[in-house]
Structure 1
Amino acid sequence: MVHDRKKFDVDIGLSNAAIDWVVKLSSERATLDDHAQFNLWRQQSNEHELAALEAESLWHGIGATERRTHKAQRNGRFTRRAILGVSLIGATGLAFQRVGFFGPRLYADYVTSTAQQKTVRLDDGSTVVMNGNSAFSTELNRRERRIFLFEGQALFQVAKDASRPFIVEANGGETRAVGTEFDIDIRPRQVVITVSEGIVDVSSGVRTTEADGHSVRAHANQRVTYRPDSAPSAPEEIDADVETAWRRGKLIFNAKPLGDVVTALSRYRSGKILIADNQLSSLEVTGVFDLAQPETVLETIEKTLPVSVTRMPFVTILR
């Protein structure tokens, strides 16, 4: 979630205090006296009230369902009541993502959790290397090999089979290859395809063909991006080894927007990371980081950028 803090413009000290209050009041141990004390606190000035509104807005943005599921995960089990609650929310049409193993993971053949990487060998001889918090399913038949990447990031090492194209569907688009190696990264606003070896054809939106100009061909050390409702971008020259450094236990950022850095970092640390100001998302981050120490990314952001980091039990706020 990205929240526009400009409409609040709150002092950091008051903002942190308000967040502490909201976290405390969301606990099952919160008393009526606690709520009364918070009301007195927020009535001290207009600035206190604005801080309270900001904290409540951020907190509600996390989602009550996700908070309940995190609690169940900490207890080491999903209770019947927690599962029932998630089922009811799904029945009423309220969308949510990354809630334990629900959502798209319900349909996946393979899943990974936070900070977990997994290598999957498919029946056709192809290999899929999954990054953290990822999920996909397969449909292999005599005509084609189709993969459905529901969320996260994966590197595909495709076994050659000219009679059966290898196709990956991800968030409204398709990436097609015969024998190659490429990475697909589902981000909040776009899907990023990085080609390490060979050639891929990328299409998105309404299914199209290369003849009508809506399919883009990318070669090794090129990157293509797309959104579900638009055609793919033109190929961009990149260093594929840098983009796929996660396979070697590293995160390498070269003037990467903070919003994309947060997406990448979320795969290696527990809890939600929220950006409280849209303008912060475009700040650029540069550095080489060890995946075994994801907190160093946040520490570097706080030291090198005009960003304050507020850490709580299962949410971190950048503002």
Structure 2
Amino acid sequence: MTKTQYNSEIEVQAKYWLWRIEQGLSQQERQAFVAWVNQDNKHHLALHKYSPSIKMSKFLAEFNGLFPLEKKHSNNTQKLFKHLSLAASVIFFSMLTSEIFLNKSLFSFFQQTSSAIVYQQFSTKTGEQASFSLPDGSLVHLNTNSLLTLSFSDNHRQLNLVKGEALFDVAKDKSRPFSVTSGQQSFTALGTIFNVQKNDNNHLELIVTEGRVLIADSNEPLIELTQQIANTVQFPERNNIVTAGEKTVIVNKIQLPKNKISPLALSQELAWQKGMLIFDGESLATALDEISRYTDIRFTIQDQALAKIKVAGYFKAGDVETLLDSISNNFDLTYTQTNNNNVLITKAIHSATLGPTTSSTL
């Protein structure tokens, strides 16, 4: 593992712990959290970097010594760390300092050391899709450039879609709600297959293909979430209950009205599972934004008139050259590779003697 990869993994782990703190830690998790913080000063700094949004939570008051205002720690602070982590460090020390642990996921390690709580992490690279079986028998399909963490306990199946897009085929277990948090929202399955896409922290999309999904705040306590699930029987038409064949979008924590989605539109939305992208009247700018999710190449359109051109067709995800050749031939455009990862799209310039210009090859 390179230094960059190691630092990136630390940041992911820090964000995961901050999310788990907001959800509420068990005693086992508290011990593991303290041990993780004291394993490496970089862990401590990563928490300091990403913790401002939850500094005021009541739980962190118990660990306020772990979140100093300065990066350099006084002797008193270091003594406090030692007192907080003494018991946990005795248990975890040998594993935490070993090369084996440093090359394994934090979540895989906890999966092996805790019988009550299971931790896992799943991810895909840009242009990659993958399917995984979860410990409860549920299935998850991850789209390009996605990261999903899992924390299963005896009474709650919790997942966090850190980035990207995932489809969940949920195994039924009424005694353990299945909740996916993303940004500031949670999506709880009620016997369901559903798709969540996180465009950014303030823009989420939910599509339900089977059953129902309850939308709630990500920090909703389990007891209140359970009550809301019970209320879905009495109030099935509420806007925060999305049923099969419906899509909803959440922008800045505001859920927009639910929309019925046709089987054809549903196939288009979920074509990524088969490695395909389907466009049917989207603007060129929108199509290129979608293509960009599957490649490192970025596109620049010369003017707004070109950006509004409507496109349609079936394309293999990541097949940039076929898409560009298609729009070049059908819309009288040309494209030029300006550097390794940038493509400029312009209107084709015609010559009376030489004919249309040809597009460059990626």
TM-score by length of 2: 0.52
Aligned runs of 1:38-49 on 2, under 5 Å? none
- Say if 2:185 is the partner of 1:173: yes
Aligned-partner SS, 2:191: coil
CA 1:313–1:216: 2 relative to 1, 3 Å: same
Superposition deviation, residue 106 in structure 1: 10
Tell me, yes or no, if structure 1 residue 222 matches structure 2 residue 246: yes
Cα distance in 2 for residues equivalent to 1:283 and 1:204: 38
Which structure's relative contact order is higher, taking Cα pairs within 8 Å and 6+ residues apart?
1
Partner of 2:295: 269
Q: How many pairs does the alignment contain?
A: 231
Relative to structure 1, is the Cα distance of residues 158 and 92 closer, same or farther in structure 2, using a 3 angstrom cutoff?
closer
Q: Give the aligned residue type for 1:218.
A: V
Which secondary structure does the structure 2 equivalent of 1:297 belong to?
Answer: helix
Is 2:158 aligned against 1:146? yes
Q: Is the 8 A contact 1:156 1:182 kept in 2?
A: yes
Tell me if structure 1 keeps the 8 A contact 2:295–2:318: no
Residue by residue over 1:167-187, the C-alpha shift from the partner in whole angstroms, topping out at 9 and shown as x without a partner, is 111232222213211111222
Matched, 1:245 2:260: no
CA contact (8 A) 2:210 2:243 kept: yes
1:230-255 Cα distance to aligned partner (Å, 9 max, x none): 22432332332221111122111222
Return the letter of the residue paired with 1:219.
T
Q: Give the deviation of 1:91 after TM superposition.
A: 9.7
Percent of matched pairs sharing the same residue: 25
Provide the C-alpha distance between the structure 2 equivalents of 1:204 and 1:232, rounded to a whole number of angstroms: 15
Residues 115-124 or 255-264, more deviating: 255-264
Partner residue, 2:195 = 183
Structure 1 residues 223 and 307: CA distance shift in structure 2, 3 A: farther
CA distance 1:172–1:178, shift in 2 (3 Å): same
Give distance in 2, aligned partners of 1:172 and 1:257: 30
Alpha-carbon distance in 2 for matches of 1:300, 1:276 = 18
Secondary structure of the residue aligned to 1:195 is strand
Whole-Å Cα distance in 1 between the matches of residues 256 and 319 of structure 2?
Answer: 34
Cα pair distance change 1:139/1:106, threshold 3 Å:
closer
SS state at 1:265 partner: helix
Q: State the superposition RMSD in angstroms.
A: 4.0
1:153 shift after superposition = 1.2
Find the partner of 1:200 among 191, 213, 233: 213
Q: Distance in 2 between matches of 1:215 and 1:302?
A: 43
- Partner of 2:173 in structure 1? 161
Greater Rg by CA: 2
Which amino acid letter does the alignment assign opposite residue 341 of structure 2?
A: F
- The aligned counterpart of 1:254 is 280
Q: 1:201 to 1:82 in 2, by over 3 A?
A: closer
Structure 2 residue aligned with 1:21: none
* Cα distance between partner residues in 2 of 1:140 and 1:156: 15
Aligned to 2:131: 119
Task: Give the conservation status (yes or no) of the 8 Å contact 2:155–2:175.
Answer: yes
**Cα displacement (A) at 1:223:** 1.3
**Conserved 8 A contact 1:223-1:238:** no
Query: Residue 180 of structure 2 aligns to a residue in which SS?
Result: strand
Q: Which residue of 1 aligns with 2:67?
A: none
Asked if the contact 2:208/2:242 (under 8 Å) is kept, the reply is yes
* Distance in 2 between residues matched to 1:113 and 1:218, nearest whole Å: 30
Please say if residues 146 and 162 of structure 2, whose CA atoms lie closer than 8 Å, have aligned partners that are also in contact.
Answer: yes
Cα pair distance change 1:80/1:202, threshold 3 Å: closer
Deviates most, 137-146 or 257-266: 257-266
Give CA-to-partner distance per residue, 1:156-176, whole Å, 9 cap, x none: 111011121211112322222
Q: For 1:204 and 1:274, locate their aligned partners in 2 and report how far apart those are by CA, in whole Å.
A: 37
Match of 1:233 among 243, 252, 257: 257
Checking the alignment, whether the CA contact within 8 Å between 1:195 and 1:220 is kept in structure 2 is: yes
Quick check: 1:298 aligned with 2:310? no
Deviation at 1:136, TM superposition (A): 0.8
For residues 294 and 196 of structure 1, the distance between their equivalents in structure 2, rounded to whole angstroms, comes to: 29
Matched, 1:288 2:288: no
> Could you tell me how far apart the structure 2 residues matched to 1:204 and 1:301 are?
42
How much does 1:122 deviate?
A: 0.6
* Partner residue, 1:5: none
* Cα 1:129/1:200, change in 2 over 3 Å: same
Partner of 2:341: 314
